[in-house]
Amino acid sequence: MSYLFNTDDDRKAMLQAIGAESIEELFRSIPAETQLSRPLNLPAAMGELELQQHVQALASQNQNVVDYCCFLGGGAYDHFVPAVVDEIASRGEFYTSYTPYQPEVAQGNLQAMFEYQTMICQLTGLDVSNASLYDGGSAAVEAVLMAISVTRRSKVVTCDTVHPHYRQILATYLQSLDAELVVLPATDGVVSLEQLQACVDDTTACVLIQSPNFLGSLEDVAAIAELVHQHKGLLVTVFDPIGTGILARPGDQGADIAVAEGQTLGTPLLFGGPYLGIMACREGLVRRLPGRIAGQTVDRKGRRCWVLTLQTREQHIRREKATSNICTNQGLFALRATIFLSTLGPQGLADTARLCLRKAHYAARRLTDGDRFSLAFEAPTFKEFVVRDRENRVGELLQTALEQKIFAGIPLGTWYPDLADCFLVAVTEKRTRDEIDRWANCLQTGTAAPLPAKNGSTTVSNPPASQHA
């Protein structure tokens, strides 16, 4: 096997140095009756070429967003990833290193973490960011747990406009804890302020909302913040990092803790992970913030440098009293986000956000210009929106589009029974006017114009080896 070094001669010499007769002797501390007396039942070993052919065959059974036209969102989006992100993130010095426990030989990672934290503060308008959590869902849940711990209150209020997965994870985490979870139903696709007012009280630790929400609509974050703060609770907002190119930042709208799925910042779709959990908060909450944090300091010669800091919050020191059990951060994906945001800059992020907004609104108008489709809600939207099929044949419709190589939308009936005649559509900057027209025609007529050859599709379907994602 090409990753192992020891030859038979090495093994002999090493055993001799150890003073052991055989390899088996080294395992003698495992009682013989416990040892497995047969080989593991696993498929036979494959060399690199064989493995590549095998995996390529399996991969080709998946329909992918390079060959298909993707209008799916729902928490994972087909945004553009500049080549520099893949190039740099595929450097072994980054991706084969580990947690920077020895800062003297990890300044690259530590400085990148510090830059990441700064950029997340810039995106959120908040004071402090950690170095990332697993994904948007776990970040939302960790934020709620943090709010419970900070306020020493136990009631958590959210709305069904928050990503269903995030709400499900929250319910899982809270089931064994002494906390009460209230999920309010949406009114016309957004949180009802009246209902929220009736529900939030002085026992409320936090309100968890998402804006733009799972249904694409913008929530009235500022009004919700005011309401929560009247009761001295915290507001946790799930935001869209790309949206901050044009939309007001969660911190500026009154959020105390902002969380997000960072996949949109330079990570491909990857069938759902690994992704990037973004989390930032106000200054006063930093000591309850979970996860790693890089901090600036100086070395013995007074040179500026970076270390992991505030480590006493973490499990390896505080054990059962830690702010969370979380150990890893998503270092590689935080790095990708840092490279992505550096490359885009303020102008690139604003342009991307504007393209998403314009194209999504164009798509919504194109589709609803006939009789069959209408927008389900009136609230303002950014890059995602819910379409109602007046003929109530969503499954069939999406299937037809699939046959035309279009992922046309996500059916909503599973999570929202009263939206069974609706589907969720996301339009990113990558969708061209041609693609949007084809999508709209296909849904309206059940057919699509022939697929024009996509520029560069042959190169993209054979990505470089450097795709560390």
Q: CB of 200: closest distance to another protein in angstroms? A: 22
In the complex, the smallest distance separating the C-beta of residue 230 from another protein, rounded to whole angstroms, is: 19
Q: Which amino acid is at 363?
A: A
Of 196-204, 353-361, 385-393, 439-447, which part binds another protein (CB under 8 A)?
353-361
For position 13 contacting another protein by CB under 8 A, the verdict is yes
Q: How far is the CB of 205 from another protein (least distance, A)?
A: 16
Report if residue 261 touches another protein, rule: CB under 8 A.
Answer: yes
Which 84-103 positions form the footprint of another protein (CB under 8 A)? 84, 87-88, 90-103
Site for another protein in 184-243 (CB under 8 A): 218, 222
Q: Residue 140's closest CA among 113, 109, 169?
A: 169
Tokens of 366: 């194109």
**Least Å from the CB of residue 224 to another protein:** 13
Residues 290-329 vs another protein: string with x where CB under 8 A?
A: --xxxxxxxxxx-xxxxx-xxxx-xxxxxxxxx-xxxxxx
Assess contact for 155 and 123: CB atoms under 8 A. no
274 versus 421: smaller Cβ distance to another protein: 274
Q: Should residue 254 be labelled a site residue for another protein when binding is judged by CB under 8 A?
A: no
Q: What amino acid occupies position 255?
A: A
Among 184, 208, 227, 357, binds another protein (CB under 8 A): 357
Tell me which of 188, 198, 284, 358 binds another protein, using CB under 8 A: 358
C-beta of residue 375 within 8 angstroms of C-beta of residue 384: no
Instruction: Choose between 15 and 199: whose C-beta lies nearer to another protein.
Output: 15
Contact 425, 71 (CB under 8 A): yes
Q: Which is nearer to another protein, 200 or 344 (CB)?
A: 344
Closer CB to another protein, 198 or 454, in the complex: 454
Minimal distance in Å, beta carbon 220 to another protein? 8
* Longest Cα–Cα distance in the chain: 84
CB of 283 to another protein, least distance (A): 10
DSSP string, 128-155: EE-S-BS-HHHHHHHHHHHHHHHHT--E
Least distance (Å) between residue 161 CB and another protein:
15
Residue 443 CB, nearest distance to another protein (Å)? 16
Using the Cα atoms of residue 342, residue 348, residue 350 and residue 354 in order, give the sign of their dihedral. Answer: negative
Selected from 196, 238, 247, 406, the binder of another protein by CB under 8 A is 247
Give 129 or 204: the residue with its C-beta nearer to another protein: 129
Q: Which of these ranges, 152-160, 193-201, 227-235, 286-294, lies near another protein under the rule CB under 8 A? A: 286-294
Buried b (16+ CB within 10 A) or exposed e, 245-278: bebbbbbebbbbbbbbbbbbbbbbbeeeeebbbb
392 near another protein, rule: CB under 8 A:
no
* Closest by CA position to 147, among listed 26, 228, 263, 37: 228
Does residue 30 belong to the site contacting another protein (CB under 8 A)?
A: yes
Helix (H, G, I), strand (E, B) or coil at 305: strand
Cα gap 429→436, rounded to integer Å? 11
With contacts defined by CB under 8 A, name the span among 80-88, 184-192, 196-204, 232-240 that binds another protein. 80-88
Q: Are 266 and 337 in contact (CB under 8 A)?
A: yes
Torsion of CA 113, 118, 120, 126, to 10 degrees: 140
By CB under 8 A, the residues from 40 to 69 that bind another protein are 40-48, 51-52, 54-67
Amino acid at 458: T
CB of 64 to another protein, least distance (A): 4
Match 């959210």 to its residue by tokens: 158
Q: Which of residues 421-460 bind another protein (CB under 8 A)?
A: 429, 432-433, 436, 460
Site for another protein in 115-174 (CB under 8 A): 115, 117-119, 121-123, 127-129, 131-132, 134-138, 145, 163, 165-166, 168-169, 171-173
Taking CB under 8 A as the criterion, the residue among 210, 237, 244, 428 binding another protein is 244
Q: How far apart are CA 18 and CA 8, in angstroms?
A: 15
Helix (H, G, I), strand (E, B) or coil at 169: helix
Sign of CA dihedral 426, 430, 431, 433: positive
Name which of 198 and 395 has its Cβ closer to another protein: 395
CA distance 431 to 454: 12
Burial of 323 (0-12, 13-18, 19+ CB in 10 A): buried
Out of 185, 201, 226, 346, point to the residue binding another protein (CB under 8 A): 346
